[in-house]
Amino acid sequence: MTIDLSFANSVPIIPAGNTQIQFVLVGAGGTGSCIIRELCKVVCQIQSVTKKQVSIHIVDFDTVESRNIPRQIFLPEEIGMNKAAALAIRYSSAFGISIKAIEKPFDCQMVNKLKQWNMLTVIIGCVDNAAARAEIERCLEYNSKTQAASIFWLDCGNAQTSGQVLLGTTNNFNLSHAFDRPECPNLCYQLPSPTSVHPELLVARAEELSSSRLSCAEIQLHNYQALFVNQFAATIASQYILELTFTGGLRKFATYFDCKTMNCKSLYTTRSTLSQFQH
């Protein structure tokens, strides 16, 4: 029997030094509406222990429909409201923190305009189409190619009962820039983007190419999803966020799960594992 020592041989991911943290949640549907509550908990932890300024922006142009309930975390009273606005109002009140809603499709310039000196930006992608992922991917171009990243993309995706959470910083991953010491690393500074690990994320599905764009609810009808699959993705993503921005020690960049079999597997930040994704 072969023992997997990947985790034991992995090294922690270190973001660029920062005094501000900006979370940009792109997509407020199935997974996005689950993750926002957990994200607020992380923000409260950061603010209670550190002096860092932390902000949350939720980006979504869609409105709450009756068929979104109960799979997505919305209330009957919120039907007809913009999804981002509904979540921002509810959770800013519940946690006493500032959350801003951007009620339009995500654009890379949103992050560029919000970006400030000494700021760590974590873009949490909870989108259901290739075009939105391509736009998020563009944001990684602002990262330095040779230093610790200041912009991270955490992508959440799922099918019927399974899914994945992927963390990345660059579209042109180079192993020589990934670690503090390439041959015998202690720290990890750069990660391949989610679309470098899974290029198929940029391939539009048939329903995305429809002349009349389907809503998230309609796409769910075409691709039936288990009731709790979004929560699985949100829970895993929340742990990534906690370790990346608060507790430290994050040593994985991809996690795959199946809520039916209860299996979960991760890829860790070892030199041999990351070498598979070098351009």
CA 199 and chain centroid, separation: 16
Q: For residue range 11-56, what is the model confidence (pLDDT) as tens digits?
A: 999 999 999 999 999 999 999 999 999 999 999 999 999 989 999 9
pLDDT in tens, 195-204: 999 999 999 8
| pLDDT above 90: residue 113 | no
Share of the chain above pLDDT 90, in %: 80
Residue spans of the domains in the chain: they are 16-277
With bands split at pLDDT 50, 70 and 90, how would you rate the model's confidence at 209? low
Q: Which of 262, 242, 195, 260 is nearest to 252 (CA)?
A: 242
Helical H runs in 151-228?
A: 175-178, 194-197, 216-222
Mean pLDDT within 140-155: 93
What does each C-alpha distance from 171 to 111, 140, 167, 196, 278 come to in angstroms? 17, 7, 12, 6, 10
Sheet with strand 151-158: strands edge to edge: 99-102, 53-59, 20-26, 119-125, 151-158, 162-168, 252-258, 263-268
Asked if residue 251 lies in contact with residue 269, where contact means CB atoms within 8 angstroms, the answer is: yes
Q: Which residues contact 241 (CB under 8 A, 6 or more apart)?
A: 23, 38, 39, 42, 122, 124, 154
0.85 cut: is pTM over it? yes
> Which tokens in the block code for residue 6?
């990947």
CATH number for the region 16-277 comes to: 3.40.50.720
What pLDDT, on a 0 to 100 scale, did the predictor assign at position 4? 77
Q: Is the pLDDT of residue 222 over 60?
A: no
Distance from first CA to last CA of the chain, Å, rounded?
33
How sure is the predictor about 221, in pLDDT bands with cuts at 50, 70 and 90? low
Alpha-carbon span 114 to 33, nearest angstrom: 22
Average pLDDT of every residue of the chain: 91
Average pLDDT value for residue range 183-204: 95
